[in-house]
Amino acid sequence: MNSDSNLLRIARIALSKEFIRNVAAWAGLAFALNLVWEIGQLSLYTIFSAGTPREIAFALAHCTAGDVLIAVSSFVLGLLATRRHDWPISRPLLGGAVAILSGLAYTVFSEWRNVYQTGSWSYTPAMPLLFGIGLAPLLQWIVIPPLCIAGMRKR
């Protein structure tokens, strides 16, 4: 199969009603799970003690929205890797590995950039670090994609 026909096949899949339904379900699960995670890890960031209630609410909304974008991107990367719109059911190991690795890769970049380069946020001393990156946000992308897969498989 040549690369043009592969691209056409992937484009057809990405425009299908099934894919739209699956990515919407994935986004919904990701929203709920990431909101809970963000609330749970909030005390590991300085905004929890230094921010106003409005700043904290904005940070939770902003971070959760960003998490959903990362999750949807990881779902699409799973589609590209598996060539299946239903990869959480048909190819959960490959698609899940892609979702986890892509989420981790982006999180490492984002945490490094925002903590050490731009100073957009900072950790409290309670945040466990792995090579200078917060362990809680790293675990987020190891734990949540498999939970999304499990949720998709129960649908």
DSSP assignment of 8-66: HHHHHHHTSHHHHHHHHHHHHHHHHHHHHHHHHHGGGBTHHHHS-HHHHHHHHHHHHHH
pLDDT of residue 7: 74
Q: Give CA–CA dist 105/66, Å, rounded.
A: 14
pLDDT of residue 45: 98
pLDDT in tens, 19-74: 899 999 999 999 999 999 999 999 999 999 999 999 999 999 999 999 999 999 99
- pTM summary value: 0.89
pLDDT in tens, 71-113: 999 999 999 899 898 999 999 999 999 999 999 999 999 999 9
pLDDT of residue 120: 94
Q: Which of 75, 114, 113, 73 is nearest to 91 (CA)?
A: 75
